[in-house]
């Protein structure tokens, strides 16, 4: 390990520790509830025009031709898609807002990719499947209820605003789940595991809410 690796490891640990402290303190909580039919901005959020970069301190460098996505677990038809097979799936365009638990929101993001609903039609979850666990190339995980994953606006995105997703924003492929805080939208997606029982992911095991609904201000487990 180089001196720089050791320094970055220390910084990374401090960043993660700080976010865990936020959960313990209930930082950013307003105690309000929002109505997505009446308000565009959830409680405690502010709009930004840029797109902040947040991660665990690791940004995997994955060339599209080296990327693959494993879809397995409680499904009838497990899949292992390489880049060409992923691109051969029906492609759709999506428009959505994103809301980060660190209190910023960005409106009108344009995505290109494969819908979660199409993926479900291919793999055919078993009747016992209730949840999915998303796995990222940096070791990150996060969980979703199956019905949340299967919402009509959920996309496995490879492009944003007409250009390929950049490395820092989760390229070549990330999940986008607009109705929940953005930590649920796993970057550098490499595996989708269908489960019969819930399995909390990285932040859910560190004091963050299991579902993360921004309109209910589900920032932390409390």
Q: What are the boundaries of each domain within the chain?
A: 3-53+61-216
Dihedral of CA atoms 112, 118, 122, 128 in degrees, nearest 10, equals: 120
Q: What is the mean pLDDT of the chain?
A: 92
The SS3 of residue 143 is strand
User: Where are the extended beta strands (E) located within the chain?
Assistant: 46-47, 68-73, 79-82, 92-99, 104-115, 131-136, 141-145, 155-160, 163-164, 174-176, 189-195
The predicted pLDDT at position 100 comes to 97
Q: Which residue has the higher pLDDT, 112 or 18?
A: 112
The predicted pLDDT at position 6 comes to 54
CB burial of residue 128 (10 Å; 0-12, 13-18, 19+):
exposed
Question: Residue 166 pLDDT more than 70?
Answer: yes
The predicted pLDDT at position 11 comes to 44
The pairing of strands 92-99 and 104-115 is antiparallel
For the entire predicted model, the pTM comes to: 0.89
The predicted pLDDT at position 208 comes to 95
Q: b/e per residue, 143-155, with b = 16+ CB within 10 A? A: bbebebbbbeebb
CA distance 44 to 17: 22
How is residue 195 written in tokens?
């489960």
CA distance 41 to 47: 8
Question: Residue 57 pLDDT more than 70?
Answer: yes
CA distance 103 to 148: 22
Question: Residue 179 pLDDT more than 80?
Answer: yes
Question: Residue 184 pLDDT more than 90?
Answer: yes
Beta-carbon count within 10 A of 26 CB: 12
Encode pLDDT of 92-149 as tens digits: 999 999 999 999 999 999 999 999 999 999 999 999 999 999 999 999 999 999 999 9
Question: Residue 4 pLDDT more than 80?
Answer: no
Task: Say which CATH topology domain 3-53+61-216 has.
Answer: Sulfite Oxidase; Chain A, domain 2 (3.90.420)
The SS3 of residue 86 is helix
Question: Residue 8 pLDDT more than 50?
Answer: no
């Amino acid at each position: 390990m180089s001196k720089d690796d050791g320094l970055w490891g220390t910084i990374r640990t401090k960043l993660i520790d700080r976010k865990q402290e936020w959960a313990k303190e209930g930082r950013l909580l307003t105690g309000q509830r929002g109505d997505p039919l009446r308000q565009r901005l959830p409680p405690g959020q502010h709009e930004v025009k840029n797109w902040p970069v947040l991660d665990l301190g690791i940004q995997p460098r994955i060339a599209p031709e080296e990327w693959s996505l494993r879809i397995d677990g409680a499904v009838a038809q497990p899949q292992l898609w390489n880049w060409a097979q992923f691109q051969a799936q029906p492609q759709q365009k999506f428009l959505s807002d994103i809301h980060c638990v660190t209190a910023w929101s960005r409106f009108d993001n344009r995505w290109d990719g494969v819908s979660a609903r199409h993926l479900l039609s291919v793999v055919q979850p078993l009747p016992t499947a209730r949840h999915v666990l998303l796995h990222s190339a940096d070791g990150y995980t996060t969980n979703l209820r199956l019905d949340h994953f299967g919402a009509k606006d959920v996309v496995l995105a490879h492009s944003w605003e007409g250009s390929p997703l950049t490395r820092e924003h989760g390229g070549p492929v990330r999940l986008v789940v607009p109705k929940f805080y953005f930590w649920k939208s796993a970057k550098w997606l490499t595996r989708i595991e269908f489960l019969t029982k819930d399995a909390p992911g990285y932040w859910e095991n560190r004091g963050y809410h299991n579902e993360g609904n921004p309109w209910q201000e589900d920032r932390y487990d409390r």
